[in-house]
Amino acid sequence: MKAVTATIGQTALLLVLGAAIGVGVNTVRGKDQIDLRRNYFPPPTTAPASATQPVQKREFQELTLDEVVEVFDDAKVVTGEYVFVDARADGPYQEGHIPGALQCDYYRSERYLPSVLDRVQNAEKVVVYCNGGDCEDSLLVCREFMSLAVPPERTYLFRGGWEAWKQAGEPFEQGEK
């Protein structure tokens, strides 16, 4: 009985110690800090399908690789009317990104939004991408832009993302912006 009580006591102590160290380290952590109160995964902004509206509308317009290449080749990219936004973290962004793409890592957006938001709000077309496949970071960035008054009709999601762009042999840039 004594051993069982001691084991339960140790378990409780380790639980408290692990949680306390975790919260403490997170508080002093720099760029990888998790904001405990932030909802990193907000729900979709479109209403669910109903009897009167059976087909669920997509949250954001989506572009195929060919359409993205067409946007990239447009002269409006140079004038800043068309903007590309890369939603990935520092490492993958610096390894390679679409030339001229602004970085806006969703999970550390407080670092990037001050420099990105003004250009995005004034752009005619904003193409957001992440790694591709099942990555949802670009979708989350689109939702964040919408919450910051960027009109959703100007925001476009490139689902194929970086993987599709790279596989197609399109030009890319490396390093920081």
Residues that bind other proteins (CB under 8 A): 3-4, 6-15, 17-19, 21-23, 25-26, 29, 32, 34-41, 43, 89, 107-108
- Taking the complex as a whole, how short is the minimal distance between the CB of residue 81 and other proteins, in angstroms? 32
Taking residue 52's Cβ as centre, other Cβ atoms within 10 Å add up to 5
Our CB check for other proteins shows the closer of 35 and 118 to be: 35
- Taking the complex as a whole, how short is the minimal distance between the CB of residue 10 and other proteins, in angstroms? 2
DSSP string, 60-120: SEEE-HHHHHHHHHSTHHHHTSEEEEE-S-HHHHHH-B-TTPEE--GGGHHHHHHHHHHHH
CA distance 68 to 165: 9
**CA angle at residue 50 from 47 to 51, to 5 degrees?**
155
Our CB check for other proteins shows the closer of 77 and 104 to be: 104
- Taking the complex as a whole, how short is the minimal distance between the CB of residue 14 and other proteins, in angstroms? 5
- Taking the complex as a whole, how short is the minimal distance between the CB of residue 137 and other proteins, in angstroms? 8
Our CB check for other proteins shows the closer of 11 and 147 to be: 11
- Taking the complex as a whole, how short is the minimal distance between the CB of residue 123 and other proteins, in angstroms? 27
Our CB check for other proteins shows the closer of 24 and 151 to be: 24
Residue 55 in 3-state DSSP? coil
Our CB check for other proteins shows the closer of 70 and 90 to be: 90
- Cα–chain center distance at 117: 14
Pairing of strands 61-63, 102-103: unpaired
97: which strand partners?
173
